[in-house]
Structure 1
């Protein structure tokens, strides 16, 4: 079968925050780009984080440079992408047994990094955040916030698309064709159609996050990557109004982040052998919650609806076994020492610093292309797009009640996502050349993210897709398996109390009634 051949100035490999941010940055400079992603937008670390927009205070001891970058970039994003940010503020909270020397030095360390930190009487803090431990011995207020990573990436991609950037989702890199120190073409496969695609580009950027080492190796370049898994849990309700951090050096179980109507608690740092092996475990979650109860006692009685994990793409720069000691700064590699003059890797860093990572990468790309246009992402607001609006928690109920259309039935009752919203998202995917599926709809909305975790809405959505001609024959079973596998794998580590009864209901409904085999759905 003859491969489809495409040409462009820059090929970006990876559809996370950095890749989509780079696509926007280059498009604003007039550079023609194609972005390819082997799964969907934010399929890696950009979709597996806690959504914390760092003040930088978490890194004042371990990585002051990253702390300053987070402070500067966080302030920029609050101003330039307000639709993606909830400016909650944050507390750093110490409890008995925490390092008193670190507590005493906290304010000065923050000041040295230009980070605002104001002492708060623990009694006043408890009145403002009743979920805190009454035993708190010190509290500082900082300028933390939260950010919606899916809205952020989708908004970046929407503007890039409006400036003629082409996006190929579910396209996996198979290899590189090289000649005389240059990558002449990149071979890909469309994982939906199994058709091959070949792309010629003047410059190739590897922005594949935790998979950057694997992609670079295919081009003949080596990156010494470390894979640090961070696991988190989502509570059924929102526990606090602010971001709450443990007042100690960065460790496990020390961040509680509000996320719309829920809260996210974490995280861990567990070395794994490969990014594809990332999955939260019951042991991790148990240990994390046991530790976190000292700061937020309510963690012991809260119902959790899901656990998930992401992989931190860390680049090894020295010895040591503690992944938290590895810099959270980013690595921009030109690969000229590997004999490649048109291949670049950008990896590491934080979601908070994605824009800066994209800017520095675009600067290098443009120097090689001879493009002298300046970066505009530090000054131009990020436009809010209709393609990203439905990731916002609580938006669809407001729209549904305002619309007051009895015929606009709810497909997802937990998050109140209606047929009209579903159709709008599916239409947008089709318009942009992508196949609408249950997981793709879920990435761009709140469907499946409520307490039932897709038990009922998955069936309603699949039936609606058949009604609309989006599915035929046995495709619905495959869609259900794919969608439910992603939801159910996050429930396994939390099977205690009411969650066990819910899991039994799901198994009876989907495996007993529909014949979806348990071993297939709960695969790793």
Structure 2
């Protein structure tokens, strides 16, 4: 069995774990991140991508509101490649509570969130899709954040500084002696190889899987798995974030996400964090509710739906089936003080927007325990800018712009691949992804996954949902000897299944036609039996 040694192990490759890893290594603390699948496969990728101004929580959760606004300003400086300073609107529609508007305005002023009331005429010029009968509109400093690039860039920044990453490794045992955690055992999900990792600190940043990790350490901790469902519109209908001005509820946010809009969400407590199920009735009700804010939402094509669990923590639990009344603030649990287990810390709850602050407080606690005085600098030191102009002039203009806006640290590698005709080939027309970009993004530490490439390039995220590009990418990967035919087969079927799951629950004529087209390509033209295999 292989052995490794470090000072701190972080469990969970979502945004919180990524933030903790970067903060640890920036303070000179050796660290390893363990992720059971790929980076950002869980909750961190299953959300609006809203960079909160804090205004949503100002009335009911002042602490979360203040944290959100403070971190909003910081992320706009340190993660420019992942953040769009879109701004946002809060819109009161007929039937919403007048008293709440007054309460909200006072709460925003109290916590220091800048808001500005604007005329409906101005609002409609900026956002023509909003309800023309709206009764009040306020401008807020919301933004949009790409969670995929944010997490991947944060982890890569940490690795560049000396941190380590083990993807597709599952924690199977947490070691402890005399009330002190001293490491853990992980197992490779593919070759079953086990690794013993010695460490002084184990940080549980596993999101909704955090309860399972805590229980493995012998700690009793309960999390509420609050599942939210969202939909993706096939075009960007709004320049700014559009929020409904009422007490936070279902179906009240539209967030611009590059060339599309993400709409949602719902909130239902579920038993398992692995419950990514989708309910057609729930989605239909969500769209009906969303029509109060965007009246012609049913006329805009919805290309897919997705869901994920928020990890909500509170000491006494809750009977609230929606989870709406549980704080969105973070929970930092020192299990030495709480449970008598030294070296074990849980960081959970919070928001995507507050991940850096959550990491800072977690590492502050570790430094206190190790008797060191290193201070946090993650709020000052920016990560590598995503926008890196690519010099090739032989690529289609749209593909060149996409690559330039997306390349980051892979710029030189992508440019090298673009020197070949194949490298310049656009594999995904919807998102203008070239083979050079795909090849440069392929992780070399585990088998080929189209989902892993999607998270790094946006392959298959456009209106056709990978109908054409998944097959092309898999075939070229085999042709270039980068993967085996068997691995490519498995990856292709997994990607196809995942895309169709999100499309099948959408009651939209165009999306139904797209799914029929996908079936025709894969099951008729390519002869792949449904649930069967493909030979590439």
TM-score above 0.5, yes or no: yes
Conserved 8 A contact 1:397-1:417:
no
Aligned to 2:428: 412
Q: Give the secondary-structure state (helix, strand or coil) at the position aligned to 2:300.
A: coil
Conserved 8 A contact 1:448-1:458:
yes
CA shift, 1:192, in A, is 2.1
> Aligned runs of 1:159-198 on 2, under 5 Å?
159-198=157-196
Identify which of 430, 446, 452 aligns with 1:440. 452
Q: 1:224 to 1:293 in 2, by over 3 A?
A: same
Aligned to 1:457: 469
Conserved 8 A contact 1:40-1:440:
yes
- Structure 1 unaligned segments of length 5 or more: list them: none
Distance 2:309 2:86 in 1: 26
- Structure 2 unaligned segments of length 5 or more: list them: 391-396, 405-414
Distance 1:478 1:363 in 2: 43
Aligned to 1:4: 2
CA shift, 1:77, in A, is 0.9
1:425 aligns with 2:445: no
Conserved 8 A contact 2:5-2:198:
yes
Aligned to 1:323: 323
Deviates more, 1:168-177 or 1:495-504: 495-504
Q: 1:399 to 1:208 in 2, by over 3 A?
A: closer
Question: What do the CA deviations read for 1:485-518 (whole angstroms, capped 9, x no partner)?
Answer: 2222211211431211221222233234556554
Give the TM-score normalised by the residue count of structure 1: 0.93
Aligned to 1:338: 339
CA shift, 1:520, in A, is 7.5
Q: Give the secondary-structure state (helix, strand or coil) at the position aligned to 2:227.
A: strand
Identify which of 157, 170, 175 aligns with 2:155. 157
Conserved 8 A contact 1:307-1:493:
yes
Conserved 8 A contact 2:3-2:197:
yes
CA shift, 1:370, in A, is 2.5
Question: What do the CA deviations read for 1:298-343 (whole angstroms, capped 9, x no partner)?
Answer: 2120001111112110013344414110000011111123231011
1:379 aligns with 2:395: no
Aligned to 1:26: 24
Aligned to 1:62: 60
1:368 aligns with 2:369: yes
Deviates more, 1:232-241 or 1:169-178: 169-178
Distance 1:142 1:386 in 2: 26
Question: What do the CA deviations read for 1:84-119 (whole angstroms, capped 9, x no partner)?
Answer: 111011100011100010122322111011011111
Distance 1:455 1:424 in 2: 22
Conserved 8 A contact 2:27-2:376:
yes
Deviates more, 1:332-341 or 1:65-74: 332-341
Aligned to 2:408: none
Aligned to 2:109: 111
Distance 1:398 1:125 in 2: 30
Q: 1:516 to 1:371 in 2, by over 3 A?
A: farther
Aligned to 1:17: 15
Question: What do the CA deviations read for 1:180-206 (whole angstroms, capped 9, x no partner)?
Answer: 112233111101222111111110000
CA shift, 1:462, in A, is 0.7
Distance 1:411 1:343 in 2: 45
Aligned to 1:249: 247
CA shift, 1:410, in A, is 1.4
Question: What do the CA deviations read for 1:19-42 (whole angstroms, capped 9, x no partner)?
Answer: 111111111111100101001111
Distance 2:364 2:403 in 1: 44
Cα RMSD over matched residues? 2.1
Identify which of 99, 102, 107 aligns with 1:101. 99
Q: 1:340 to 1:514 in 2, by over 3 A?
A: farther
Q: 1:405 to 1:473 in 2, by over 3 A?
A: closer
Question: What do the CA deviations read for 1:403-459 (whole angstroms, capped 9, x no partner)?
Answer: 797552111121111111111112xx22xx344431211110110101111111111
Conserved 8 A contact 1:45-1:311:
yes
Aligned to 1:86: 84
Aligned to 1:133: 131
CA shift, 1:265, in A, is 0.5
Deviates more, 1:350-359 or 1:186-195: 186-195
Question: What do the CA deviations read for 1:166-224 (whole angstroms, capped 9, x no partner)?
Answer: 10000011122222112233111101222111111110000000100011001100112
How many residue pairs get matched? 510
Identify which of 490, 502, 510 aligns with 2:522. 510
> Aligned runs of 1:172-321 on 2, under 5 Å?
172-318=170-316, 319-321=318-320
Conserved 8 A contact 1:53-1:351:
yes
Conserved 8 A contact 1:245-1:255:
yes
Give the TM-score normalised by the residue count of structure 2: 0.91
Deviates more, 1:89-98 or 1:376-385: 376-385
CA shift, 1:81, in A, is 1.7
Aligned to 2:75: 77
Distance 2:532 2:296 in 1: 35
Conserved 8 A contact 1:91-1:139:
yes
Q: Give the secondary-structure state (helix, strand or coil) at the position aligned to 1:474.
A: helix
Distance 1:519 1:64 in 2: 50
Conserved 8 A contact 1:133-1:294:
yes
Q: 1:514 to 1:338 in 2, by over 3 A?
A: farther
